[in-house]
Chains A and B, each alone.
Chain A
Amino acid sequence: DQQVKQNSPSLSVQEGRISILNCDYTNSMFDYFLWYKKYPAEGPTFLISISSIKDKNEDGRFTVFLNKSAKHLSLHIVPSQPGDSAVYFCAARNSGNTPLVFGKGTRLSVIA
């Protein structure tokens, strides 16, 4: 049973436009959500996170939105840049000492 789902395996966006990556989860006990970015042959890099007490968190070009009632979060990147081309993983966790549960990732390609 996949608790964190990224239903789009890939996404292509033109440079300068907005990239929207989506993530759905099934476990209502999740209260902390993260996005990681991964380049080939490298480990994932932490990008941005959001606690369940918020519905939006912004950091520069990156904004994460959380809709708890829909169990849905999204990552917006604007404007998109060619260097943003990578695989993006959504992850979630329960409170306390629990490991992250990851989605399968979405490969973003930003076309110049």
Chain B
Amino acid sequence: GAGVSQSPSNKVTEKGKDVELRCDPISGHTALYWYRQSLGQGLEFLIYFQGNSAPDKSGLPSDRFSAERTGGSVSTLTIQRTQQEDSAVYLCASSLGAIRPQHFGDGTRLSIL
């Protein structure tokens, strides 16, 4: 499709397991963002990739969180040793450039048991 694609749409896992969330941005979009939305909260910035520049990781809540963007396209967000407070909807967005509106995927709903 033409939009931002995220997989899986839902993920349930046990506390302590590692998870990988995938994002396929819109083709040609150079900027890619990860956010998460916990219950009753707004969108919390996690990490931002812009072209070949070093990513802005200032929003990652702990060193258990990491993200990669391979070939300037697909991105993977990895959470190691998951905790219950990691339960949230993880949203990916992309844009043509840093100053253009961001287009969001439908998110991955992560539930840690």
Interface of A toward B, CB cutoff 8 Å:
4, 6, 32, 34, 36, 41-46, 49, 89, 91, 95-105
A and B contact pairs by CB, cutoff 8 A, 10 listed: A34-B101, A46-B101, A49-B101, A97-B53, A99-B59, A100-B45, A100-B102, A102-B35, A102-B44, A105-B42
- The reply to whether A99 and B101 form a contact with Cβ atoms under 8 Å apart is no
Q: Which residue of A lies closest to B53 (CB)?
A: A97
The smallest C-beta distance from B31 to any residue of chain A, in angstroms, reads 8
> B11-19, B61-69, B75-83, B104-112: which one contacts chain A?
B104-112
Number of interface residues of B (CB under 8 A): 25
**Residue B43 lies at the interface, judged by CB distance under 8 Å to chain A:** yes
- The reply to whether B104 and A45 form a contact with Cβ atoms under 8 Å apart is yes
Interface of B toward A, CB cutoff 8 Å:
4, 33, 35, 40-45, 48, 50, 53, 56, 59, 91, 93, 98-99, 101-107
Report the Cα distance A31→B5, complex, angstroms: 29
For A95, list chain B residues within 8 Å (CB). 99
- The reply to whether A97 and B50 form a contact with Cβ atoms under 8 Å apart is yes
